[in-house]
């Protein structure tokens, strides 16, 4: 049923071939499909409505990238808004309390509380080196306490000894005492679930909360949950003020819209997600992954991302072709400067490149002034076309004019030109070396290896990068 | 409390939502125009009926051509009729074939849907009817699942065939059928480990269980019951689809049907797959597993009851 959406969207947008900014009608048509996609992913209706409006405002007037359709562009905007809403970064489990930190797990029956409790204990023990105690307060489901005991034994995590007939609050107090006396860092309380929200359940978890003062109260919820996720999450949140959500069965093929609903109605982060049956199958929440699933259009999102990359690559290839012919002029330098600025400046760009650790250190020491980029751009813009293509014609009077036009000094113009000459020289070297690597531009790794021998100041292999 | 009032009180909150919603839309009378139909469609989506079924139901209502202003009650009644019509073919209680000794019921589903509890309740009912029932603890994976089933065995007086955790489920199933056959039992209820339908190897294990059962009785399993949690949303479609193709699901049991805005997905499933709903779970007690009544279900869902 849902598989058809991609096709439906492209059918709608095939006829929209115009470029430029997204119009209100482009956005409107795309959002109608997105709305259905979200509903089919079980995002609750009120949440869908709010969300779609938010996206509408953001999308109208947005530029459409070359080689993607307006519809695809809208989907990318929707995706980014989803990630933003869900939280791009996982929030850590809070253990800031006088030990033992109490973590209480709440949720409906069958949501995966017991398994998640054990997984969280393993997580805290293995990843954070915390001594953790597990205690089951579920005295209703047959063998629930036994289940937690077995899981604890399997994972080498201590469980509170079972005392038959002991009521939940008494178990919780005993767990807290044991935790204190035996020096545990954390105590995880696995509470009983109910088939639905009822007063008895809420009274019980409120009592447990009052008796143990948990630092984390995690709502365990199934990624398959339907529209009712909103009601459920709201009820738990109102009763005990949850601190976060554990989303379970993310390894299934449910689209997981409940995650968005719960996040929206409680305002609490989704902290962890269960991704398998094994006890180590717990991961920090990835907003990006869930966003793609909710939308069910991960391929479109990747496509737009790739399109954005391609544009940059096309420019880079154009440049490489020019280099091959030994022609690199100030126009090219200008386009490089602009691309560099767009990508977050020199330091931002360096962060993206593999194999340039050494150069990076040197540059960090050199304290790059990013405003240099803007100044250099202004200088080139003050040149005539002729000057840009053939910098040799730039003599003293032209330099004075350029400096005046760009609000800089003649010395700045000289510096730029000197750097440009230097670049040209290095580029030619790169071309020669390129022949060694089968006519290709060498990779940064190859460059690093070669640096000792030829030592150009600029690592010429910098794809899209340059030295100024 | 009889079962129906239980269902009603269970469904009460979701009925309140859908039912009150409808009353709200048509308060003081309103025409069934595209605006009010659109509102109605949204209410249906909020009850997990899914966009497709919601649209279809809304369209069906529009066809009725109310030429005048209608009240909320009229709309609810009409909607209940439409829903009941979709659900009608699904009302088939689980009937044991007396010629089969035993009638083999294989119970499958995703983790946490309520398989073990459903088996316990089913065993209780069959025992109440004077049947001889064997339980097979085929969930050898989940910690303490075997203990959980054994507790149900004690409560209902049914022998439980079990092995140690981690044992081969197909082998255990084979032995259980051998024993039940030898005893001439009326029914063998087989519990299986919960599995997500997109896990290929785990689904293959179900195929193996079915294959092994057929070695002893070519017609087994006679019923393959997919247990669905009424809390789930549209993923129920994928669950029915995959479990049906892998394990040959013949009927559904819908559990936890006693909370808010639940069970709407059953309407969408009935429309798409036409599988019988053999039982619904409306509470936590052993006698809360009930036959499925489309009329009452539909009326309760829209808040008429």
Q: Are residues A143 and A292 part of one domain?
A: yes
Q: Is-contact A311 A68, C-beta < 8 A?
A: no
Q: Which of A4, A196, A276 would best serve as a mutation to test chain B binding (most B beta carbons within 10 A)?
A: A196
> What span, in angstroms and rounded, lies between the C-alpha atoms of B73 and A337?
69
Which 20-39 residues of chain A touch chain B by CB within 8 A?
A: 36, 39
- Nearest of B145, B109, B59, B114 to residue B247 by alpha carbon: B109
Q: Which domain holds residue A48?
A: 3-86
CB contact under 8 A, A225 and B147: no
- At residue A363, the 3 state secondary structure works out as helix
CA-nearest residue of chain A to B194?
A277
Inter-chain CB proximity B45 and A39 less than 8 Å? yes
Who contacts A163 (Cβ-Cβ below 8 Å, separation ≥6)?
A171, A174
- Flag whether residue A238 sits within 8 Å of chain B, measured between CB atoms: no
Task: Tell me, yes or no, whether A237 and A293 share the same domain.
Answer: yes
**Residue A121 belongs to some domain of the structure:** yes
* Domain annotation covers residue A464: no
Q: Are B107 and B225 in contact (CB under 8 A)?
A: yes
Q: Is the peptide bond before A200 cis (omega within 30 degrees of 0)?
A: no
Give the integer Cα–Cα distance in Å for B78 and B64. 9
Predicted confidence band of residue B283 (pLDDT cuts 50, 70, 90): confident
Are B30 and B48 within 8 A, CB to CB? no
Nearest to A196 among B196, B234, B258 (CB): B258
Q: Nearest residue of B to residue A223 by CA position? A: B232
Nearest CB neighbour to B113, from listed A110, A225, A255? A110
Same domain, A408 and A276: no
Contacts B13 to A, Cβ<8 Å? 231
**Higher local confidence (pLDDT), B130 or B14:** B130
Smallest Cα distance from A145 to chain B, Å: 9
> What does the pLDDT read at residue A457?
40
Start-to-end CA span in chain B (Å):
15
Domain assignment present for A204: yes
Contact list in B for residue A50 (CB cut-off 8 A) is: none
* Residue A119: count of CB within 10 angstroms of its CB: 26
Q: Which CATH superfamily is domain B3-87 in?
A: SRP54, nucleotide-binding domain (1.20.120.140)
Tell me, yes or no, whether A69 and A177 share the same domain. no
Contact at CB, B45 and A249, closer than 8 angstroms: no
CB of A136 within 8 Å of a chain B CB? The answer is no
Looking at residue A141, its pLDDT comes to: 85
Instruction: Please tell me whether residues A230 and A320 are part of one structural domain.
Output: no
Q: Measured between alpha carbons, how far is A13 from A410 in angstroms, rounded to an integer?
A: 52
Question: B55 falls in which pLDDT band (50, 70, 90)?
Answer: very high
Is any Cβ of chain B less than 8 angstroms from the Cβ of A225? yes
- Listed range (A136-150, A295-309, B21-35, B267-281) with the worst mean pLDDT: A295-309
Q: Are residues A219 and A323 in the same domain?
A: no
Number of folded domains that form chain A: 3
Q: Give the residue from chain A lying closest to B12, CA to CA.
A: A196
State the span(s) of chain B assigned CATH 3.40.50.300: 103-293
What's the rounded Cα separation, in Å, for the pair A343 and B133? 70
State the burial class of residue B211 (Cβ atoms within 10 Å of its Cβ: 0-12, 13-18, 19+): exposed
Whether residue B185 contacts residue B105, with contact meaning beta carbons closer than 8 Å, is answered with: no
Please tell me whether residues A325 and A441 are part of one structural domain: yes
Give the number of other Cβ atoms within 10 Å of residue A19's Cβ.
Answer: 10
What is the nearest CA distance from A1 to chain B, expressed in angstroms?
9
Cβ distance A254 to B235 less than 8 Å, yes or no, reads: yes
Is residue A222 helix, strand or coil?
strand
Interface TM-score (ipTM) > 0.85: no
Using the Cβ of A226 and the Cβ atoms of chain B, whether some distance falls under 8 Å is answered with yes
For residue A11, the model assigns a pLDDT of 55
Please report the pLDDT score of residue A72 as a whole number.
76
So what's the pLDDT on residue B290? 87
Q: How many residue contacts between A and B have a Cβ separation below 8 Å?
A: 148
Clarify whether residues A131 and A238 are in a common domain. yes
Measured in whole angstroms, the distance separating CA A430 from the mean position of its chain's CA atoms is 36
Inform me whether the pLDDT recorded for B46 exceeds 90.
no
Instruction: Classify domain B103-293 at the CATH topology level.
Output: Rossmann fold (3.40.50)
**DSSP notation for B15-78:** HHHHHHHHHHHTTT-B---HHHHHHHHHHHHHTT-HHHHHHHHHHHHHHT---S-B-HHHHHHH
Q: Could A147 and B148 be called an inter-chain contact, meaning their C-beta atoms sit closer than 8 Å?
A: yes
- Looking at A266, A297, A328, which one is the last position of a domain? A297
Where is A24: in which H helix or E strand?
Answer: helix A24-40
pLDDT tens digits along A285-314 = 988 888 888 877 655 666 666 666 666 667
On whether both A155 and A194 belong to a single domain, the answer is: yes
> Domain with A79 in it: what CATH number?
1.20.120.140
Contact B259 A36 (CB under 8 A): no
- pLDDT in 10s for each residue of chain A, 468 residues: 333 344 545 555 555 545 567 788 878 878 888 888 888 889 998 899 999 999 999 888 887 777 777 777 888 888 889 999 898 888 899 999 999 999 999 999 889 999 999 999 999 999 889 999 999 999 988 889 999 999 999 999 999 999 999 999 999 999 999 999 999 999 999 999 877 677 888 899 999 999 999 999 999 999 999 988 988 999 999 999 999 999 999 988 888 999 999 999 999 999 999 999 899 999 999 888 888 888 776 556 666 666 666 666 677 777 667 666 667 788 877 877 776 666 555 554 444 333 334 444 455 555 556 677 788 889 999 999 889 888 888 888 999 999 999 989 999 999 888 888 887 777 676 666 555 444 444 444 444 444 444 333 433 333 333 333
Count how many residues are written for chain B.
Answer: 305
Q: What is the pLDDT of residue A356?
A: 38
A93: in domain: no
Contacts of B152 in chain A (CB under 8 A): 142
As a whole number of angstroms, the distance between CA B291 and CA B302 comes to 19
pLDDT digits (tens, 9 = 90+) for A187-208: 999 999 877 677 888 899 999 9
Residues of A in contact with B141 (CB under 8 A): 277
Please report how many Cα atoms fall inside a 13 Å half-sphere around the Cα of residue B192, on the Cβ side: 27
Residue A302 lies in a domain: no
Closest CA to B255 of B273, B281, B277, B225: B281
The CATH number of residue A361's host domain is 1.10.260.30
pTM above 0.90, yes or no: no
Same domain, A178 and A30: no
Contacts with B, A 288-347, CB within 8 Å? none
A255 at interface of B, judged by CB pairs closer than 8 A: yes
Q: Is residue A329 part of a domain?
A: yes
Q: Which of A297, A331, A366 is the last residue of a domain?
A: A297
Tell whether A271 and A345 lie within a shared domain.
no
């Amino acid at each position: 049923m849902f598989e058809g959406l991609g096709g439906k969207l492209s059918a709608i947008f095939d006829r929209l071939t115009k470029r430029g900014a997204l119009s209100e009608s482009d956005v409107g048509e795309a959002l109608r499909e997105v709305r259905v996609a979200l509903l089919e992913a079980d995002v609750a209706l009120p949440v869908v409505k709010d969300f779609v409006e938010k996206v509408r405002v953001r999308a109208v007037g947005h530029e459409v990238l070359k080689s993607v359709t307006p519809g695809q562009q809208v989907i990318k905007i929707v995706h980014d808004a989803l990630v933003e809403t869900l939280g791009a970064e996982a929030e850590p489990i809070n253990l800031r309390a006088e030990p033992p930190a109490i973590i209480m797990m709440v949720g409906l029956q069958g949501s995966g509380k017991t398994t998640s409790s054990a997984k969280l204990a393993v997580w805290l023990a293995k990843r954070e080196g915390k001594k953790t105690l597990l205690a089951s307060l579920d005295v209703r489901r047959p063998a629930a306490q036994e289940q937690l005991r077995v899981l604890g034994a399997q994972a080498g995590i201590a469980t509170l000894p079972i005392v038959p007939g002991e009521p939940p609050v008494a178990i919780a107090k005993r767990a807290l005492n044991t935790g204190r006396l035996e020096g545990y860092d954390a105590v995880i309380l696995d509470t009983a679930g109910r088939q639905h929200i009822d007063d008895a359940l809420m009274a019980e978890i409120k009592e447990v909360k009052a008796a143990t003062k948990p630092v984390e109260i995690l709502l365990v919820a199934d990624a398959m949950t339907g529209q009712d996720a909103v009601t459920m999450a709201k009820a738990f949140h109102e009763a005990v003020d949850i601190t976060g959500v554990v989303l379970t069965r993310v390894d299934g093929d449910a689209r997981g819209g409940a995650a968005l609903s719960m996040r929206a109605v409680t305002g609490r982060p989704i902290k962890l997600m269960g991704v398998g049956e094994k006890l180590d199958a717990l991961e920090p929440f990835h907003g990006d992954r869930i966003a793609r699933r909710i939308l069910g259009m991960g391929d479109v999102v990747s496509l737009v991302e790739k399109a954005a990359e391609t544009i940059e690559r096309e420019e880079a290839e154009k440049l490489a072709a020019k280099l091959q012919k030994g022609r690199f002029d100030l126009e090219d330098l200008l386009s490089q400067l602009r691309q560099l600025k767009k990508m977050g400046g020199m330091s931002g760009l360096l962060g993206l490149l593999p194999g340039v650790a050494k150069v990076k250190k040197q540059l960090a020491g050199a304290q790059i002034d990013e405003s240099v980029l803007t100044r250099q751009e202004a200088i080139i813009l003050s040149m005539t076309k002729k000057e840009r293509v053939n910098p040799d014609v730039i003599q003293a009077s032209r330099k004075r004019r350029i400096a005046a036009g760009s609000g800089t000094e003649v010395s700045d113009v000289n510096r730029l030109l000197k750097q440009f000459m230097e670049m040209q020289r290095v580029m030619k070297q790169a071309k020669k070396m390129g022949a060694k690597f089968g006519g290709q531009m060498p990779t940064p790794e190859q460059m690093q290896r070669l640096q000792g021998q030829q030592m150009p100041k600029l690592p010429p292999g910098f794809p899209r990068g340059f030295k100024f | 409390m009889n079962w129906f009032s239980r269902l009603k009180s269970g469904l009460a909150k979701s009925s309140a939502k859908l039912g009150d919603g409808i009353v709200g839309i048509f308060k003081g009378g309103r025409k069934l125009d595209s605006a009010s139909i659109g509102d109605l469609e949204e209410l249906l989506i909020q009850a997990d009926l899914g966009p497709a079924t919601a649209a279809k139901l809304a369209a069906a209502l529009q066809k009725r051509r109310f030429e005048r202003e209608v009240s909320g009650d009229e709309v609810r009644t009409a909607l209940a009729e439409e829903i009941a019509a979709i659900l009608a073919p699904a009302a088939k209680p689980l009937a044991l074939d007396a010629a089969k000794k035993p009638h083999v019921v294989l119970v499958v589903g995703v983790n946490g849907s309520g398989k073990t509890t459903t088996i316990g309740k089913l065993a209780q009912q069959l025992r109440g009817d004077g049947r001889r029932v064997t339980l097979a603890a085929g969930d050898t994976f989940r910690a303490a699942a075997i203990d959980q089933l054994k507790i149900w065995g004690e409560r209902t007086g049914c022998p439980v065939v079990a092995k140690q955790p981690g044992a081969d489920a197909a082998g255990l199933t084979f032995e259980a059928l051998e024993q039940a056959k030898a005893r001439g039992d009326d029914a063998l209820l087989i519990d299986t480990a919960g599995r997500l339908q997109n896990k290929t190897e785990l689904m293959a294990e179900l195929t193996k269980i079915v294959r092994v059962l057929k070695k002893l009785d070519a017609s087994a399993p006679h019923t393959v019951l997919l247990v669905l949690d009424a809390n789930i949303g549209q993923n129920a479609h994928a669950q029915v689809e995959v479990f049906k193709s892998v394990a040959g699901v013949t009927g559904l049991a819908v559990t936890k049907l006693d909370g808010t805005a639940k069970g709407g997905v059953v309407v969408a499933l009935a429309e798409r797959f036409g599988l019988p709903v053999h039982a619904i779970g409306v509470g936590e007690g052993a006698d809360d597993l009930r036959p499925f009544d489309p009329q009452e279900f539909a009326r309760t869902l829209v808040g008429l009851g």
